């Protein structure tokens, strides 16, 4: 249960983060070509790594005690327990 919920949040956050990296790349390439041309493979690797680290951070917080995981209101999947008020 906890592993399923953590993986659900992890891959969801990773997907959002990686889509953000793509959006930043497109913005810099099209709207700010002066900055876009200076982006290197290392720059992109850093952005991608940051997206994965962000996903690991948020997925691991409920497993280490900050919040918790519970079934979502529909009961279809597991997510962060939003109903807990503490």
Segments making up each domain of the chain, as ranges:
1-61
Predicted structure pTM score: 0.78
Per-position pLDDT tens, the chain of length 86: 678 888 888 999 999 999 999 999 999 999 999 988 898 999 999 999 999 999 999 998 887 878 788 887 787 887 777 676 66
**Looking at residue 86, what is its pLDDT?**
61
Burial of 58 (0-12, 13-18, 19+ CB in 10 A): buried
């Amino acid at each position: 249960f906890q592993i399923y919920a953590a993986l659900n949040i992890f891959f969801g956050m990773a997907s959002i983060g990686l889509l953000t990296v793509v959006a930043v790349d497109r913005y810099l390439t099209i709207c700010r070509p002066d900055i876009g041309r200076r982006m290197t493979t290392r720059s992109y690797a850093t952005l991608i790594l940051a997206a994965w680290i962000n996903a690991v951070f948020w997925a691991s917080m409920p497993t280490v005690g900050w919040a918790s995981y519970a079934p979502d209101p529909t009961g279809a999947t597991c997510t962060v327990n939003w109903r807990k008020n503490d």
